[in-house]
A and B are shown apart, each in its own frame.
Chain A
Amino acid sequence: MEGTDMKYIYYPGCSASGTGRGYEESTLPVFEELGIEMVTLEDWNCCGATAYMSVDEAKAFALSARNLALAEDQFPDMDEVHIVAPCAACYLGLLKAKKYIDTDPKIGGTIRKALQSAELDYTGRAKVRHPLDVLVNDYGLDKLKEKVKRPLTGLKVAAYYGCQIVRPYSDFDEGHDPQTMDQVLEVLGVEAIEWPHKTRCCGGAQTWSSDPFLELVWIILKDAIGSGGDAVATACPMCQFNLECFQNKIRAKFDYQKKIPVVYFTQLMGLALGIDANKLGMNRLFERLELPASV
């Protein structure tokens, strides 16, 4: 698959205009700089993720499936309609719905019927992709390397994938020891550190249960810092939020003095591609990313 010839459908998801603004603000210019065409899905709706999924699965699937069906409807001439969902929860939500509709005739029947009432149809042409998947498997690391204008040499980063983009439905990377973000970072000149907590739970939506939640986040931060990381790179608005926003509380609770910036991997890509930090949403970071003098 030749990356530049392909057109992708961009699915923003709600966090792109909320807590995860920095993710969208970095993803779009990076893709543009790379020459990867992305067209925003029109009239998109909630991906149906997380809480709703456990309240009413069928309705959650129907929500997801409407997005898939819209994509097929808006791009009738494409054999395969590749939807890029940067948010990990959106990616998982859409992928899970697709998987169930494709493989379970009962759920598939219910959902198709629901779509019909909105005069929509889902045939399976819609594919759900994560930006890392597109970058590594469609665009190619070699091509990416050519585009790097300012290698981030000397920067040590802990690539943190979280759980949703690698488990359980996706197959573009290994579920317990993923590599794609590390590969992308290495191409940018970053040293992707070896650390064991790449996919450990960030606490997810459990922000309310402060004690166990803070411990989960602390384990990740402690390891990232202890393993020599200057920053944590994420691919998920929820992970970014959890790892970044509670560092004060963690320092107080665990008597821990260190801090670490938590950035989107796309922000690092933007920097390496020569895009101005302020145009990558990096002004929103609580903890500023200090680049090594060599960069």
Chain B
Amino acid sequence: MYEKEIGMTTPELKPNGEKSRIGVYICHCGTNIAKTVDVEALREFAEKLPDVVAARTYKFVCSDPGQKMIRDDIQDPDLKVNRVVFVGCTPRLHEMTFRKVISEAGLNEYYLQVANIREHVSWVTPDKEEGTEKAKALLAGAVRRVHEHEALEQRRVPVNPDVLIVGGGIAGITAALTIADAGKKVYLVEREPSIGGYMAKFDKTFPTLDCSACILTPKMSSVKSHPNITLWAYSEVAEVDGYVGNFKIKIRRKPRYVDEDTCAGCYDCVEACVFKKPKFPDEFEVGMGLRKPIYIPFPQATPLKAVIDPNTCLQLTTGKCKQSCAEVCSKNSINFDQVEEIKEIEVGTVILATGFKAFDPVRSPEYGYGKYDNVYTSVEVERLCNAAGPTGGNVVLRDGTTPKSIAIVHCVGSRDKKTNAWCSRACCMYSLKLAHLVKERTDGEVFNFYIDMRTPGKSYEEFYDKILDEGVHFIRGRAAEVRNWALDEAEEGKLVVRAEDSMMGVVRRIPVDMVILSVGLEPHEDANEVARMFNMSCGTEGWFTERHPKLAPVHTFTDGVFIAGACQGPKDIPDSVSQAGAAASEVLALIDKGYIELEPNTAFIDEDKCSGCHTCIALCPYTAISFNEEKGKAEINEALCKGCGTCVAACPAGAAQQHHFTDDQIYEEIEGVLEYV
């Protein structure tokens, strides 16, 4: 009955006047599809549909032999396939692959339709019979739709060779230098007053224990002096417009109240501040040190410029201050009237390297952070270990004494369903590093409480061995709690870490002077907002979503926007640097190619139907529609149209139409699906 109906409703000739000769290619995708969809039944079903001249199945249609099968059918003098339906995975994965295949065989690449029976059927339908039926409906819809496809040509637009990099941690710095060294102009935008990110806070890096500053600060300095890099610290992306090759971006430069061009970074203003002593928690020192309202984040800050905190500066909060900072400045750089500035730039590509946020252990109250003075986060201890830190590299407690026993609690805010389910990947290694540094500086006993030791990296396991040899204690068991309560005299005045030692099968209480919580990595709170701004997505956890977890790890689903470093998922320095290099090379490849192809799925106006009501003009987010006074009709500028479809949906007369998404195409697809159902 179905075949009869479909025969009746399908016109014989298609837009270009030729008769459709449809080839249907059904993919097993190994067992991904074949396990829950009867592909052979699907093939038999397809074969009987009107105008289908070839219906084939193959284990992997995307492979070379699979592609050849399609090409051969197109070029076969008897079959002469002129429309292709690929029935397999999502078009996001292989639509481009098969467009290329059919275009190589001489067909217009838009004579292709993809029916997604993997993500939409086999992966989400456990029942094979139901799966096969749904697949048939989708296949029928695709066959009906491809009848209506028109030959379309892609448009080429040049790629603007300038690049925006968001985030000035080690990933952003690496990408910026790579691209700038290749002769391209880079805008590097950093939210904090200085670039450097987390790496700038560390004393040593694992597994080589080389000095973090020694390998990072020369790179920071290169960024500052590079003729191809424009560095905007203390700035944020405010608005993103445009598309791959031609982004228009607004950058918000927050007021420093210090003229960045003239400030020499001499510290005179900091010394002259009416606050004689530092009084406010220092952000760079993660609260371990104090700063004044006017400050330079750290001596190697890049740019080395002072900044005034509007929340603590007397002049900016009360308007009453003798402004001794301004008085002493020989360059007259202090400017209390400075306001936010918006910079507009045009770039062709973007790399997001916005990094991560360290887990706040207040969310795991069992460990007593914030309640007991001697419970620290690992980031705080990084600062204690740092020769340039608040204690000059001495690991001492808040009362100035040196701890004789130290517990390092792993997986705080990681591998914990109550907080973050994921493994933060870097913590085992940085905990080993901290164990070494703390032991070296205190000569105390160090206890690591771990669930599993995860040291998969070059020379990582060897580093673990080395730390074991140093006499650091390892207790396998997630620490249950940290308490200041003494069971006996030996515990008096100590913090007690309680954990099940799963090697010994006993619950242990270890009294210590200091507890270090190895906090996990988590996405920034505003990661979703940033993702939305760049029209890309975050996973449920908040990490930016890569185009493919294995094969396109630095691409996003937005062309021209790449990601690098820990914003994509927890990562250590070596991995962040590798990704930054990968993202830079993807950017350079696009710039080198020089142009990008734009999808021809732009909207157009059927002038016979247009009543000139202006509805579409007001709605177009890209101001691509104007009103032709002479004709009294709307007119679409194809160069500006992004094919969003807003006008098509809104037009009361059905005059606004969209290439590759015409009403006919969509109705045919719907009818194909419904007729079968």
- The residues of A with any CB-CB pair to B shorter than 8 Å are 174-177, 195-197, 219, 223
Contacts and interface: CB of A to CB of B under 8 A. Distances in A.
Interface in B338-379: 364-366
B483 A177 contact: no
14 contacts: A176-B364, A176-B365, A176-B366, A176-B481, A177-B365, A177-B366, A195-B485, A196-B481, A196-B483, A196-B484, A196-B485, A197-B483, A219-B487, A223-B485
Contacts of A223: 485
Contacts of B398: none
Contacts of A195: 485
A176 B367 CA distance: 9
A121 B484 CA distance: 50
A197 B485 contact: yes
A174 B483 contact: no
A159 to B, nearest CB: 15
B369 to A, nearest CB: 11
A175 B418 contact: yes
| Interface size grouping (class) on chain B | under 10
Contacts of B484: 196
A195 B485 CA distance: 8
Contacts of A196: 481, 483-485
A223 B496 CA distance: 14
Nearest to A174: B365
A212 to B, nearest CB: 10
Contacts of B481: 176, 196
A174 B365 CA distance: 9
Interface in B471-503: 481, 483-485, 487
B536 to A, nearest CB: 31
Given A196-B483, A196-B484, 15 more contacts: A174-B365, A175-B418, A176-B364, A176-B365, A176-B366, A176-B481, A177-B365, A177-B366, A195-B485, A196-B481, A196-B485, A197-B483, A197-B485, A219-B487, A223-B485
A174 B419 CA distance: 12
Contacts of B418: 175
Closest A-B pairs by Cβ, 5 of them: A177-B365, A176-B366, A196-B483, A196-B485, A176-B365
A196 B365 CA distance: 11
A146 B452 CA distance: 52
Nearest to A222: B487
A112 to B, nearest CB: 20
Nearest to B368: A196
A248 to B, nearest CB: 21
Contacts of A175: 418
Nearest to B364: A176
A169 to B, nearest CB: 12
A176 B481 CA distance: 9
B133 to A, nearest CB: 22
Nearest to B366: A176
Contacts of B365: 174, 176-177
A237 B481 CA distance: 25
B505 to A, nearest CB: 14
A223 B366 CA distance: 17
Nearest to B482: A196
A75 B418 CA distance: 34
Nearest to A227: B485
Nearest to A226: B485
Contacts of B485: 195-197, 223
Interface string B146-182: 0000000000000000000000000000000000000
A143 B148 CA distance: 68
Contacts of A176: 364-366, 481
B315 to A, nearest CB: 41
A219 B498 CA distance: 14
A174 B481 CA distance: 14
Contacts of B364: 176
B479 to A, nearest CB: 12
Interface string B434-470: 0000000000000000000000000000000000000
Nearest to B484: A196
B24 to A, nearest CB: 35
A197 B368 CA distance: 12
B279 to A, nearest CB: 29
Contacts of B487: 219
A175 B484 CA distance: 19
A188 B140 CA distance: 71
A104 to B, nearest CB: 16
A255 to B, nearest CB: 13
A197 B484 CA distance: 11
A196 B367 CA distance: 11
A196 B498 CA distance: 12
B478 to A, nearest CB: 13
Residue in A174, A177, A195, A196 with the greatest tally of chain B CB atoms within 10 Å: A196
Contacts of A174: 365
Nearest to A223: B485
B175 to A, nearest CB: 41
B390 to A, nearest CB: 29
A175 B365 CA distance: 9
A175 to B, nearest CB: 7
A174 B366 CA distance: 10
A182 to B, nearest CB: 13
Nearest to B365: A177
A39 B364 CA distance: 38
Nearest to B418: A175
A175 B483 CA distance: 15
A165 to B, nearest CB: 16
Interface string B578-609: 00000000000000000000000000000000
B22 to A, nearest CB: 40
A228 to B, nearest CB: 13
Nearest to B496: A196
A175 B481 CA distance: 12
Contacts of A197: 483, 485
Contacts of A177: 365-366
B364 to A, nearest CB: 8
A220 to B, nearest CB: 11
Nearest to A218: B487
A193 to B, nearest CB: 12
B397 to A, nearest CB: 20
Nearest to A175: B418
B95 to A, nearest CB: 35
B212 to A, nearest CB: 34
A196 B487 CA distance: 12
A176 to B, nearest CB: 4
Nearest to A167: B418
Contacts of A219: 487
A197 B486 CA distance: 12
A175 B366 CA distance: 9
B481 to A, nearest CB: 7
A197 B487 CA distance: 12
Contacts of B483: 196-197
Nearest to A219: B487
A83 B365 CA distance: 30
A174 B483 CA distance: 17
A177 B370 CA distance: 13
B606 to A, nearest CB: 50
A176 B485 CA distance: 15
B419 to A, nearest CB: 11
B359 to A, nearest CB: 16
A196 to B, nearest CB: 4
Residue in A175, A176, A197, A219 with the greatest tally of chain B CB atoms within 10 Å: A176
A176 B479 CA distance: 13
